[in-house]
A and B are shown apart, each in its own frame.
Chain A
Amino acid sequence: MSPTIQVQAVSKRYGSTVALDDVTISLTQGVTGLLGPNGAGKTTLMRCIATVLAADSGSLRVLGHDTATGDGRLQIRRQLGYLPQEPGYHTGFTAFEFVDYVAILKEWADRRARHDEVRRVLALVGLESVMNKRIRQLSGGMRRRVGIAQALIGSPDLLVLDEPTAGLDPEQRLRFRELLGSQSSRAAVLLSTHQTDDVAALCQRVVVLFDGRVRFNGTPAGLAALATDRVWIAADRDPSADLAWVTSDGHVRHIGCPPGGSQLVAPTVEDGYLTLVGEPATRAVV
């Protein structure tokens, strides 16, 4: 199977800041999670893949088309659903009007068919009852779902979702996981998140970015395995531990060398992630 997204030696700078540094990844069907602390380059990479930002160097092919050419970008955009980190909602629009507006930009010229599609995607994210409310009247979580709805228009072959679960409550996150599960059977999905449990629950593949570089590219189980034999539960905090935090049951979870009287436990995706990116990332994630 040819890769859905092929990123080859892509770099991107903003002035003196390196956002992406020689990034090479290749992604196929299924859900891929993009993890990394703030400023790791996740949003920049997603923008490049979504054709809204040009890389400084390297090549990027999405759905078989080159993002560097106008025609390539057009072909990609016809098969793409994109949720940016900060969608520029026109708050005077209702949810229906906003999604309808994006559907127009996605070349849905037939009004009746377009409105049916708008109703369908709004129902998918559970907003059918508020679709005629103005966006400025909706909560942050509802606005996020409006953003997700516009990305789903036309059942695209590739979904690029930048922090889709930010602002969603636990029930909405569960619904989102369900929704994404149903989409991923026919589309490739790339999502960035700070929620490692989303990655564990949803993703077949995970890429960890740190300082603009790829630090890990594999399965969630593979990421968790990086912390094998390094995660311990103890009654008290060991000051010499690499990382330690109190869990909800009152124990202290340690990553690193075993503290006295501790018990070795199976690592999670979060443990693997923290092991990989270390203390600087811990400060950003906590």
Chain B
Amino acid sequence: MTIWHAPHDLLVRFATRPESLDHVAATSVETHLLGCAACRCVITEHTDSEWLEQSWHAVADVVDRPKRTVAERALGWFVGSSIARVVAATRSLRWAWVAAMVLISAVLVVAARDVGSVAPFLLVAPVLPLLGVGLTFHPVPDPAGEAALACPMHGAGVVLYRALAVLLTTVMVMAPAAALLPHVGWWAIAWLVPALALTALAVGLCTWLTPRAAVGLVTIAWLATVYGTAVRSLGDSRSDERTLELFFDPGAQFAWFAVVMFASLTVTVRRQHLTMLEAR
């Protein structure tokens, strides 16, 4: 038990003019204060309460500050820390989704190399970013759920930032995989505009339908069309080539670009419908 107490004037100097004490004296007083409630009471009377409160706030602010990833910090330089935080909370940017993308890309590349054609990769790749965006929107376009929908900042802007972030992340994962395809040439990037078009189409449809319905509809429509085309050209020695030309040749790319423009216009006009549980 502490029975000795620091001299009153020493405590007052410690509290009001700490620079007037040498290092040894200041350290001694500080150590003593840790174990002596009575002396702590003395310095409380001489401490600037406003300064103390500000100091505690500053300490608490550092301690409680949410940890930010490197990616979030980097994004913050471009879009501001608030938007960066909102984007970083996106479901589809979690490691599980990125890992799934890496795995699916690897399987598609192996399948493509096995059959000696880019078709398996190109025909599936456009729906992967779409599924990522769908996961982002499910069940509502925010990880904080309905509570976020009732917030003023939550709007089409946040939804689109998220969709863009997922799209870019998926592309960054899949682009190196595309480079490993056999006879790759320009086909390595042929899936990008269709992927963008399908994603934009689904976001556009989200202004009428639930996210699940919109993404499901576009995914099924794409896969059904691809499958139907492949079935129709069975027996044709140039089956893969014809299918790829149909979906990815320069003419098709132009059509996909038109879809992107149309869907973007739809989202712009109907953006208010993106921020509620139901799009209607």
| Residues of A bordering B, CB below 8 Å | 47, 50-54, 70, 73-74, 77-78, 80, 82-84, 86-90, 92-94, 96-98, 100-102, 104-107, 109, 111-112, 115-116, 118-119, 131-132, 147, 150-151, 160
Q: Is B50 an interface residue, CB under 8 A from the partner?
A: no
Check A105 against B145 for contact (C-beta < 8 Å): no
The residue on A at minimum CB distance from B273 is A54
Beyond A52-B149, A112-B57, whether A104 also contacts B66 by CB under 8 A is no
The residue on A at minimum CB distance from B63 is A132
Whole-angstrom distance from the CB of B62 to the nearest CB of chain A?
Answer: 10
Most chain B CB neighbours (cut-off 10 Å) among A53, A105, A112 = A105
Of B37-45, B82-90, B97-105, the stretch lying at the interface with chain A is B82-90
Whole-angstrom distance between the alpha carbons of A132 and B60 in the complex? 12
Most chain A CB neighbours (cut-off 10 Å) among B82, B146, B155 = B146
Whole-angstrom distance between the alpha carbons of A81 and B276 in the complex? 16
Instruction: Point out the residues of chain B lying under 8 angstroms from A88, CB to CB.
Output: 139-140, 142-148
- Within B74-121, which residues are at the interface with A (CB < 8 Å)? 81-82, 85-86, 89, 94
Beyond A51-B276, A90-B89, A90-B144, whether A107 also contacts B57 by CB under 8 A is no
| Residues of B bordering A, CB below 8 Å | 57, 60-61, 64-66, 81-82, 85-86, 89, 94, 139-140, 142-155, 158, 272, 275-278, 280
Whole-angstrom distance from the CB of A274 to the nearest CB of chain B?
Answer: 30
Instruction: Point out the residues of chain A lying under 8 angstroms from B152, CB to CB.
Output: 74, 77-78, 105-107
Check B89 against A47 for contact (C-beta < 8 Å): no
The residue on B at minimum CB distance from A131 is B64
The residue on A at minimum CB distance from B82 is A104
Check A96 against B66 for contact (C-beta < 8 Å): yes
Beyond A94-B66, A106-B153, A147-B147, whether A101 also contacts B276 by CB under 8 A is no
Check B82 against A52 for contact (C-beta < 8 Å): no
Check A119 against B60 for contact (C-beta < 8 Å): yes
CB<8 Å pairs between A and B, sample of 7: A74-B155, A77-B150, A82-B147, A92-B94, A101-B85, A105-B154, A115-B65
Check A96 against B144 for contact (C-beta < 8 Å): no
Instruction: Point out the residues of chain B lying under 8 angstroms from A98, CB to CB.
Output: 144
Beyond A54-B278, A104-B86, whether A84 also contacts B151 by CB under 8 A is no
Instruction: Point out the residues of chain B lying under 8 angstroms from A147, CB to CB.
Output: 147
Cβ-defined partner of A54 (8 Å) among B81, B140, B280: B280
The residue on A at minimum CB distance from B64 is A96
Whole-angstrom distance from the CB of A37 to the nearest CB of chain B?
Answer: 22
The 7 closest A-B pairs by CB, nearest first: A88-B145, A105-B151, A84-B146, A82-B150, A90-B143, A70-B272, A77-B152
Instruction: Point out the residues of chain A lying under 8 angstroms from B272, CB to CB.
Output: 70, 73
A-B contacts besides A84-B145, A115-B65, 18 pairs, CB < 8 Å = A50-B150, A54-B280, A73-B272, A80-B150, A82-B150, A86-B145, A87-B146, A88-B143, A88-B147, A88-B148, A90-B89, A101-B85, A104-B85, A105-B148, A105-B151, A106-B153, A111-B81, A118-B64
Whole-angstrom distance from the CB of B152 to the nearest CB of chain A?
Answer: 4
Instruction: Point out the residues of chain A lying under 8 angstroms from B278, CB to CB.
Output: 53-54
Whole-angstrom distance between the alpha carbons of A132 and B63 in the complex? 9
The residue on B at minimum CB distance from A75 is B152
Whole-angstrom distance from the CB of A48 to the nearest CB of chain B?
Answer: 10
Whole-angstrom distance between the alpha carbons of A101 and B66 in the complex? 9
Check B144 against A105 for contact (C-beta < 8 Å): yes
Whole-angstrom distance between the alpha carbons of A109 and B153 in the complex? 11
Instruction: Point out the residues of chain A lying under 8 angstroms from B61, CB to CB.
Output: 111-112, 115
Whole-angstrom distance between the alpha carbons of A185 and B13 in the complex? 46
Check A102 against B65 for contact (C-beta < 8 Å): no
Instruction: Point out the residues of chain B lying under 8 angstroms from A87, CB to CB.
Output: 144-147
Check A52 against B66 for contact (C-beta < 8 Å): no
Check B64 against A83 for contact (C-beta < 8 Å): no
Instruction: Point out the residues of chain A lying under 8 angstroms from B150, CB to CB.
Output: 50-52, 77, 80, 82, 84, 160
The residue on B at minimum CB distance from A112 is B61
